Amino acid sequence: MNIFAILFWVLIGGVIGFFASRYFFKKQLQKNPPINEKMIRAMYMEMGRKPSETQIRKIMNSVNSQYK
């Protein structure tokens, strides 16, 4: 009987840990996104193009929408 209780609590702990880590990871990505406007401009310049503000905003919106 005790082994079932231990397995049950391990399973519950795993589920709670998964959702908690997912929440904190998303929160951290919103605070410190892996890409910013300066990096987008640099990538466009490396390709030999000058990006417009609308292109930069469009890319930033698509990146930010992934984290919500």
Largest CA distance in the chain: 68
What's this model's pTM, rounded to 2 decimal places? 0.57
The predicted pLDDT at position 68 comes to 63
Tens place of pLDDT per residue across the chain (68 aa):
789 999 999 999 999 999 999 999 988 888 887 888 899 999 999 999 998 999 999 998 888 787 66
For the chain, first and last CA: distance in Å?
A: 42
User: Token pair of 57, please?
Assistant: 């905003």
Dist. CA 34–CA 11, nearest whole Å: 32
